[in-house]
Amino acid sequence: MVNALARRRRLLILVNLLLLAALAAAGYGLIMTPIDAPAEQHAADVKPESIADIGDHAARPLTAYADIHKRLLRKPLFDPKPTTVARRKAAARKPRLTLTLTGTVIEPGFTYAMLRGAAGQVKFVAIGQSLDNATVTAITANSATVKFHGDSITLQVSRGGR
């Protein structure tokens, strides 16, 4: 049993020595300067056109790749499509029509709609006139059609009024 423990201890010591040697070799490789360092100093004199003709990419100097470090690598490769939520919000931003139709007057040469505005006042409005950003486009016996923010809305005569 003592021999088995001694063998395991020697094995662990050997493994630790190997790991220490590998760590020392890696540290030495990081500290050492590359052998081709003088060639890189002369490569700065080479024109970019001649660099493009080099077939072996490993032979290019590091200065040829300098523009890669300036790029935003986390930027998406394409512009994302606008979401439908943004379209819904744009549609929801349209103000509500605050007009109500209280009555119509239709006689030859005298056609008006009685519209109650946001402030509660009732006004007589003819075709083509506006009230509260709504333009009257048509008037019939019991309805009036108004154009409000690009939408055509038909108002019916309210029963009972306000």
Lowest mean pLDDT, pick from 14-23, 48-57, 69-78, 96-105 = 48-57
Q: Point out which residues pair with 115 in neighbouring strands.
A: 101, 123
Per domain, the residue ranges of the chain are: 2-69, 100-156
Q: What is the mean pLDDT of residues 69-86?
A: 74
The pTM for the full model equals 0.42
| CA dist 54 → 59, 60, 84, 88 (Å) | 8, 7, 49, 54
pLDDT at 162: 47
pLDDT tens string 10-38? 999 999 999 999 999 988 888 876 655 45
Contact 23, 15 (CB under 8 A): no
Which of 27-31, 68-72, 134-138 is predicted most confidently? 134-138
CATH architecture of 100-156: Roll (2.30)
